[in-house]
């Protein structure tokens, strides 16, 4: 759509329903979840297995075509876990699958269709057993995983590093490094002396994030009416 035609009250009602759905159907599937998490389209936020923990202020946007999937495979030898830190963001189609351990730091960003897996899921020769070879994955704080990138088993990625779109990461990535390609290779070094603005800065500034969003919505939606919204659905036009 060209813009959001919903009246302010309708958007508020829609978000209240999403919060209800998330708290009723998603939160009970998690070991822990921090305060202030926002799940957009929570019915497409899929949790499989025990051992999934999420920090505060996660923002996740799933769609019917691209659900978000967080999976922990049961391990008879030791408990498996998948842990997301504070202030992370997950875009549509993100998949994170842990057979041993995946630990994600604070302020990490996952672009559309990115994938983390700490297992091969089958042996090269015995393809009747799972999960095959495994190796824990660790992401430091403020890591950015690009569109459709894959992070494979046993990889550690240092803080502030970026994985380019479509990259396949099979080896460790140092801090403050940009990698790209298949297999991923270093293409740039970031300068930490310039400083980084992280997602948590959205929530710790002079104006709270919630207050900013409320002010923005009021500015953008205050003049919308129910009739105009219905008309935009039934008879959309460029003038709307």
* DSSP states along 180-223: ETTTTEEEEE--GGG----TTHHHHSSS-HHHHHHHHHHHHHTT
Domain presence at residue 8: no
The CA distances from residue 203 to 60, 197, 206, in Å, are 16, 12, 9
Domain presence at residue 39: yes
Per-residue pLDDT at 124: 85
Domain presence at residue 161: yes
Residue range 114-135, pLDDT digits in tens = 999 999 999 888 888 888 899 9
Place of tokens 């051992």: 51
Residue range 160-181, pLDDT digits in tens = 999 999 999 999 999 999 999 9
Distance of alpha carbon 100 from alpha carbon 201, whole angstroms: 32
Per-residue pLDDT at 20: 97
Domain presence at residue 228: no
Cβ(173)–Cβ(156) below 8 Å: yes
Per-residue pLDDT at 184: 97
Burial class (CB in 10 A: 0-12, 13-18, 19+), 105: buried
Q: Looking at residue 129, which CATH number applies to its domain?
A: 2.160.10.10
Query: 67 — alpha (psi -120 to 50), left (phi > 0) or beta?
Result: beta
Average per-residue pLDDT for the chain? 94
Domain presence at residue 1: no
Distance of alpha carbon 173 from alpha carbon 163, whole angstroms: 9
Domain presence at residue 131: yes
Domain presence at residue 50: yes
Number of domains in the chain: 1
Question: pTM of the entire structure?
Answer: 0.92
Distance of alpha carbon 118 from alpha carbon 132, whole angstroms: 10
Query: Do β-strands 185-189 and 177-180 pair in parallel, antiparallel, or remain unpaired?
Result: antiparallel
Per-residue pLDDT at 129: 82
Domain that holds residue 96: 29-195
Domain presence at residue 127: yes
Over its C-alpha atoms, the chain yields an Rg (Å, rounded) of 20
Instruction: Profile the chain (240 residues) by mean pLDDT over runs of 10 residues.
Output: 88 95 97 96 96 97 97 84 98 97 98 97 87 94 98 98 98 98 97 94 86 89 90 83
Per-residue pLDDT at 186: 97
């Amino acid at each position: 759509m060209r813009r959001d035609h919903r009246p302010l009250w309708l958007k508020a009602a829609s978000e209240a329903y999403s919060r209800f759905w998330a708290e009723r159907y998603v939160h009970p599937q998690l070991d822990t979840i921090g305060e202030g998490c926002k799940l957009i389209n929570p019915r497409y936020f899929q949790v499989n297995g025990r051992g999934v923990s999420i920090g505060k202020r996660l923002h996740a946007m799933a769609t019917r075509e691209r659900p978000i999937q967080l999976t922990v495979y049961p391990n008879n030898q030791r408990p498996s876990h998948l842990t997301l830190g504070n202030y992370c963001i997950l875009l549509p189609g993100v998949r994170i699958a842990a057979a041993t351990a995946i630990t994600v730091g604070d302020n990490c960003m996952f672009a559309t269709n990115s994938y983390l897996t700490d297992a091969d899921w089958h042996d090269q020769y015995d393809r009747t057993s799972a999960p095959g070879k495994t190796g824990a994955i660790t992401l430091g704080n403020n890591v950015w995983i690009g569109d459709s990138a894959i992070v494979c088993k046993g990889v550690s990625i240092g803080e502030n590093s970026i994985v380019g779109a479509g990259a396949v990461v099979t080896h460790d990535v140092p801090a403050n490094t940009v990698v790209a390609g298949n297999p991923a290779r270093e293409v740039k070094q970031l300068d930490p002396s310039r400083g980084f603005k992280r997602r948590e800065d959205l929530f710790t500034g002079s104006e709270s994030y919630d207050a900013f969003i409320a002010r923005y919505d009021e500015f953008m939606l205050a003049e919308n009416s129910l009739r105009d919204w219905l008309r935009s659905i039934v008879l959309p036009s460029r003038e709307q």
